[in-house]
């Protein structure tokens, strides 16, 4: 079941809660957690924690809190993380290689991170055939075949802006409907495709606003 009426802002906070619960489960000495504690660790207010979780059911008891193991398992179900899901990455430049290595380490270190990096793609013939941490780099022409074989559900785009739309189109035609886009360009995709943009330059410019101005 999918909760289509739930805002993306709510969905974005669920992995924050799951990360907190993962850390507590790994520590092994906390069986219960209150909305106050969960909110502090996740960086949100307790009322928002309760409101977010209430969209999906009743997981806690007033005056008792949430069972860490139970809530952790329920969030994994909600986020489709019960079973392994295959991910591809397109654009194996400096950023792409860094993202690939980060992804592989997170997959190895975190039980709830069931998103396996299954394929790498690049348009540069000099890179095609080489490997990053044991994963071969394939050409863009191989996208349909590899997506079908590996059952890839999500793609990370780390390609230049002028190539992003073409690469996105290739994955959409191959059946991928979730894109994490690092290219500084707005993608034009069907309504059935979910795009999460990550624009580093825009975020840096936003942060620059908060830098204290120098006094003379």
CATH number of 85-203: 3.40.50.720
Question: CB 159: neighbour CB atoms within 10 A?
Answer: 27
**CA–CA gap between residue 128 and residue 100 (Å, rounded):** 16
pLDDT at 1 over 50: no
Backbone phi and psi for residue 198, each to the nearest 5 degrees, phi listed first: -130, 95
- Each as own residue / partner, the long-range contacts of residues 143-146 (CB below 8 Å, 24 or more positions apart, any chain) are 143/88, 143/170, 143/171, 143/174, 144/170, 144/173, 144/174, 146/88, 146/119, 146/121
- pLDDT, position 89: 98
Categorize the per-residue pLDDT at 113 as very low, low, confident or very high, splitting at 50, 70 and 90.
Answer: confident
pLDDT in tens, 152-191: 999 999 999 999 999 999 999 999 999 999 999 999 999 9
Backbone phi and psi for residue 179, each to the nearest 5 degrees, phi listed first: -130, 125
What are the residues whose beta carbons fall under 8 Å from the beta carbon of 83, sequence distance 6 or more? 114
- pLDDT, position 4: 59
**CA–CA gap between residue 182 and residue 200 (Å, rounded):** 8
CATH number of 8-78: 1.10.10.10
- pLDDT, position 216: 45
Considering the chain, tell me which residue range(s) the CATH 1.10.10.10 domain(s) occupy.
Answer: 8-78
Considering the chain, tell me which residue range(s) the CATH 3.40.50.720 domain(s) occupy.
Answer: 85-203
pLDDT in tens, 60-92: 777 778 999 999 999 999 998 888 999 999 999
The H or E element that residue 137 is part of is strand 135-138
Categorize the per-residue pLDDT at 95 as very low, low, confident or very high, splitting at 50, 70 and 90.
Answer: very high
**CA–CA gap between residue 177 and residue 193 (Å, rounded):** 4
**CA–CA gap between residue 125 and residue 14 (Å, rounded):** 40
In the structure encoding, which two tokens stand for residue 55, read together?
Answer: 């969209």
**CA–CA gap between residue 121 and residue 119 (Å, rounded):** 7
pLDDT in tens, 7-31: 889 999 999 999 999 889 888 777 8
């Amino acid at each position: 079941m999918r909760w289509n009426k739930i805002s993306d802002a709510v969905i974005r906070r669920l992995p924050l809660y799951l990360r907190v619960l993962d850390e507590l489960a790994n520590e092994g000495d906390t069986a219960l957690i209150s909305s106050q504690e969960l909110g502090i660790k996740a960086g949100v207010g307790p009322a928002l924690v309760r409101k977010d979780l209430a969209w999906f059911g009743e997981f806690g008891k007033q005056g008792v809190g949430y069972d860490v193991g139970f809530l952790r398992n329920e969030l994994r179900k909600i986020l489709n993380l019960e079973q392994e899901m295959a991910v591809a990455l397109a654009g194996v430049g400096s950023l792409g290689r860094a993202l690939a290595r980060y992804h592989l380490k997170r997959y190895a270190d975190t039980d709830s991170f069931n998103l396996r990096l299954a394929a790498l793609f690049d348009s540069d013939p000099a890179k095609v055939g080489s490997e990053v941490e044991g994963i071969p780099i394939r050409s863009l022409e191989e996208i349909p075949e590899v997506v079908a074989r590996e059952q890839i559900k999500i793609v990370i785009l780390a390609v230049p802006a002028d190539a992003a739309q073409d690469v996105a189109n290739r994955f959409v035609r191959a059946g991928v409907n979730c894109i994490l886009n690092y290219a500084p360009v707005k993608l034009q995709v069907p309504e059935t495709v979910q795009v999460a943009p990550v624009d580093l330059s825009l975020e840096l410019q936003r942060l620059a606003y908060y830098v204290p101005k120098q006094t003379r």
